Amino acid sequence: MAMGETKLTAHIYMDANATTPLAPEVFQAMRPYWIDQFGNPSSIHMQGQQAHSAIDQARESVAALFACGEADVIFTGGGTEGDNSAIFGMMRTGDHLITTSIEHRAVLQPAERLAARGVDVTYIDPQPKGAISAEAVRAAITPRTRLISVMLANNETGVLQPVEEIGRIAAEAGAYFHTDAVQGAGKVHLDVNRIGCHLLTVSGHKFHGPKGAGAMYVRPGTPIEPFILGGSHERRLRAGTVNVPAVVGLAKAAELALASLTDGTEQRLVRLRNRLESGLLAIDGAAVNGAGAPRTANTTNIRFDEVDGGALMIALDLKGLAVSGGSACHSGAVEPSHVLSAMGLDKHAANSSIRFSLLRTATDEDVDRALDIISEAVKKLRSLAPA
């Protein structure tokens, strides 16, 4: 290959927690709904009814993913919208909200907005391994606690949170419980009764479905007010003409995600992730963030002492390996990850961290090649660093 040429097939994608490609079956399922079956599901004519029945079928598939009734599924425009709807839809001035400092910004920013509007907000910090203590949640409850919002799996570390225990605590206290399950869909069983949640949100593009499509479970009787107002779609809980192709795609992705929980995918991913992780730990000064905590099968977050994570990420990208860093750019400044900081990592350690998140199609060959690329890049960056 000539210098400067990029061999696209050689690229390895280990950033599944950021997004995943559409599964071919999802693409095929969506296809007819862009052009031939274009009806508005609210219309009473034949085209409308075709679209309506596609939405009904899709609701059945998503209900199977959540192990809930079909009437309890609301289609949304993705994870951010679902989280905003849950938080803004439940909270009133004077209420108390309990959430955590490791939530996605789709929860943290609504919480901040509400705090400015007279809602009392408590943020629970994680333990050093990245998990929230359910007892700390219990201790934060007051008679005014209306909603507890704790994510199911953290997007940066993969650490699974004790949502079932928190569900029981919420029920005992008479509080409502929302879980952001965006990083859990297709990785763990989302049984809403076992979790004991009133609200649960997922996003299609994290499990091989389309972007801008999501779903929310709403337990019957939960006094949620619509966040988006307009027509009477989605039981008046989410106004706006339903995005039929996206919902059909989301539903097909939900079917595949459910199937992948029992076909050996998880065990295969755990094995590949563990092989990647132990290969990386053989590099001097490497450590796992969240080690020892239960984690989703596909994720490992590693810090490499004395290496700038941003520079490493770029070096890996240039070698054809896509990953995410432990820092983010906000308003032009590089900030260490709020999740790793909350776990007690200093700025340096957070900024030297990289998240590897495997697609369910990952292979042994991907892991072997990634290990070669990473150890070489770390060595090179360290050799360039001023002594």
Ligand X SMILES: Cc1ncc(COP(=O)(O)O)c(C=O)c1O
Q: How far apart are CA 368 and CA 285, in angstroms?
A: 20
Beta bridge partners of residue 200, listed in sequence order: 179, 217
Q: How far apart are CA 59 and CA 215, in angstroms?
A: 9
User: Out of 59, 104, 273, 303, which residue is the one contacting ligand X (CB under 6 A)?
Assistant: 104
Judged by CB under 6 A, does residue 72 bind ligand X?
no
For the chain, give the secondary structure using H, E and C: CCCCCCCHHHCEECECCCCCCCCHHHHHHHHHHCCCCCCCCCCCCHHHHHHHHHHHHHHHHHHHHHCCCHHHEEEECCHHHHHHHHHHHHCCCCCEEEEECCCCHHHHHHHHHHHCCCCEEEEECCCCCCCCCHHHHHHHCCCCEEEEECCCECCCCCEECCHHHHHHHHHHHCCEEEEECCCCCCCCCCCHHHHCCCEEEEEHHHHCCCCCCEEEEECCCCCCCCCCCCCCCHHHCCCCCCCHHHHHHHHHHHHHHHHHCCCCHHHHHHHHHHHHHHHHHCCCCEEECCCCCCECCCEEEEEECCCCHHHHHHHHHHCCEECEECEEEECCEEEECHHHHHCCCCHHHHHCEEEEECCCCCCHHHHHHHHHHHHHHHHHHHHHCCC
Judged by CB under 6 A, does residue 151 bind ligand X?
yes
User: Out of 78, 110, 210, 245, which residue is the one contacting ligand X (CB under 6 A)?
Assistant: 78
User: Out of 62, 65, 106, 312, which residue is the one contacting ligand X (CB under 6 A)?
Assistant: 106
# of chain residues touching ligand X (CB under 6 A): 13
Q: Are 82 and 203 in contact (CB under 8 A)?
A: yes
Residue number, 79 or 290, with CB nearest to ligand X: 79
Residue number, 20 or 203, with CB nearest to ligand X: 203
Residue number, 39 or 89, with CB nearest to ligand X: 89
Judged by CB under 6 A, does residue 76 bind ligand X?
no
Q: Of these residues, 10, 115, 259, 329, which one is catalytic?
A: 329
329 is catalytic: yes
**Closest approach of ligand X to the CB of residue 68, in Å:** 20
Residue number, 203 or 337, with CB nearest to ligand X: 203
Residue number, 250 or 374, with CB nearest to ligand X: 250
**Closest approach of ligand X to the CB of residue 273, in Å:** 18
Judged by CB under 6 A, does residue 182 bind ligand X?
yes
**Closest approach of ligand X to the CB of residue 172, in Å:** 26
Judged by CB under 6 A, does residue 149 bind ligand X?
no
User: Out of 52, 63, 85, 180, which residue is the one contacting ligand X (CB under 6 A)?
Assistant: 180
Tokens encoding 67: 């192990």
**Closest approach of ligand X to the CB of residue 74, in Å:** 15
User: Out of 145, 203, 265, 341, which residue is the one contacting ligand X (CB under 6 A)?
Assistant: 203
Judged by CB under 6 A, does residue 350 bind ligand X?
no
Q: Are 358 and 16 in contact (CB under 8 A)?
A: yes
Residue number, 237 or 378, with CB nearest to ligand X: 237
Judged by CB under 6 A, does residue 341 bind ligand X?
no
Judged by CB under 6 A, does residue 114 bind ligand X?
no
Tokens encoding 5: 């040429």
**Closest approach of ligand X to the CB of residue 381, in Å:** 27
Judged by CB under 6 A, does residue 183 bind ligand X?
yes
Judged by CB under 6 A, does residue 355 bind ligand X?
no
Query: In the bound complex, which residue of the shown chain has the CB atom lying closest to ligand X?
Result: 79
Applying CB under 6 A, which part among 129-137, 177-185, 304-312, 367-375 lies near ligand X? 177-185
Q: Which residues contact 249 (CB under 8 A, 6 or more apart)?
A: 22, 26, 27, 29, 30, 204, 209, 210, 213
Residue number, 183 or 260, with CB nearest to ligand X: 183
Residue 25 has φ and ψ, to the nearest 5°, of -65, -35
Of 118-147, which residues contact ligand X (CB under 6 A)? Answer: none
**Closest approach of ligand X to the CB of residue 84, in Å:** 9
Tokens encoding 81: 């919208």
User: Out of 79, 89, 167, 210, which residue is the one contacting ligand X (CB under 6 A)?
Assistant: 79
**Closest approach of ligand X to the CB of residue 106, in Å:** 4
The contact set with ligand X (CB under 6 A) reads: 78-80, 83, 104, 106, 151, 155, 180, 182-183, 203, 214
List the catalytic residues. 329
